[in-house]
Structure formats: C-alpha cells, structure tokens
Amino acid sequence: MTSTTSTTSTTESSPYPAPAARKRPVFPRLRTLPAWSLLAVGTLAGGVTGGAYGALTAPAYSATAYVVAVPTEKSDPQAALGFAQAYGRVATQLAVLGDAQVWAGVPVRTLRESVRSATSPDAPMVAVTATATRPELAVDMANAVIRALTRHANHAKNATQVELQQFSRAVKPAEPSSASPVLTGLVGASAGGLLGGLALLVRPRAAADSAHPAVVPGPATAGDAREQP
C-alpha cells in the first residue's frame, strides 16, 4: 500500500519589517552643482536685494546748526560747559520742539523723529541735526530748533549766568546723507555671501550623513528564532 505524503511548504514570516527602499532626492541636480555655487548665488541675491532697496528708498538730507554757551561776567567757562551739556539734552524735549514747530512748519511728532542733538565734552557747543527727504525742510527744522533753544536758554540767563549764542546756521546740503544704491548693493552682497558661506559649511555634513545611511538589521532565520529562550 503506497501512501502519498503531501509536503506543504510554509513560509515563515520575519519579525523584522523589510527595509524601505531608498528614496530618491527631490532635486537630484542640486547635488551635482559645484560647492562654490552657494556662495555665488548668495552674493548675487544679496547684491540685487541691497541695490533695489537703495534705489527704491527716498534719499534723506541732513542739515546741522550750532550754538555756543557763553558765560557772563559772574560765571566761568566750566559752568558754560556744564550748561551746554544740559541744553543739548533739552533741545529735543517738548518744551523746545513745541515752539520750533511754528517756524519749521511741521508738527512736533515730525521734529521728534527727525531732529537729533549732540554736545562735546571739551567745548560748550550744541549741535542740532535735522533729517528730511527735502534739503530745504532739513534746513528749516534745524534752524527752528536752534532758535527755540536759544530763546529758552536766554530767558533763564539771569539765573544761570550763561547765555546761548548762534555759532553757525544750517546750510542747504549739496548731496543726500543716506546710503547710495551702490553702497547698499555692496552691503547686501556681503551679507548674501556670508549666508552662502555658512550654507557651504553646513553642506558637507549633510552630504556625509546621507552617504552613510542607518544600518537596518536583517531578518532572523528560523534556526536563530528556535535558539532564543
């Protein structure tokens, strides 16, 4: 009697998932570009952006007027130097700007945003600088603030024994004080080149990480599975 034994081949399932197929890069051509291309692209983009900013921004003009603190017969030069420092801080306050707006023809808010004062530690002098999009307006604002400051200081001359005298009026600027498109383009190109260089330093590390993918352990065989306790 012949018995026929049917042999059924069973496929044992592995406890480990099959390794996923390596994904193709989305932009494979970017990896073939030379390393210096990042630096060139960053410099070009920064230069174009900086030049466009300088060309589209309205030019600014600055005008400066000066006053000097003069001591009276009952005072001394050291006192005049101290009061000059004080008047330099008062020049941009509301009490002075409120009177200056009448002669400048602009509101106090414009004067507060556009006028700056400066003093010297060695000379009893106050410099008032005004900045505007029109040179005539910059001159008017600087002279108006100096006029208002002089009036306020001389009203208290009997108490301070120091008076302010006009040293130099503001004159019309011949050229804008703001940066030219060429200069802003150079600054933008420098910034873009710096960013491109930083990206160039990061690129080799990313390429090295992608060249050595993580090792996935292979599936265990049936014999290995039976040897485990």
Q: Is the confidence at residue 174, as pLDDT, over 60?
A: yes
Q: Is the confidence at residue 20, as pLDDT, over 90?
A: no
Q: What is the pLDDT of residues 192-214, one digit of tens each?
A: 777 777 776 776 554 445 555 55
User: Which residue ranges make up each domain of the chain?
Assistant: 61-168
Name the DSSP letter for residue 29.
G
- Averaged pLDDT of the chain: 76
pLDDT band at 125, cuts 50/70/90? very high
Q: What is the pLDDT of residues 127-151, one digit of tens each?
A: 999 999 999 999 999 999 999 999 9
Q: What is the pLDDT of residues 25-60, one digit of tens each?
A: 544 554 555 666 666 777 777 777 776 766 666 688
In the chain, what is the straight-line distance between the N-terminal and C-terminal CA atoms, in Å?
Answer: 43
The CATH number of 61-168 is: 3.30.70.1130
The tally of CA atoms less than 13 A away on the side-chain side of residue 220 is 9
CA–CA distances in Å: residue 94 to residues 98, 125, 145, 165 = 6, 21, 11, 21
d(CA 95, CA 74): 27
pTM more than 0.75: no
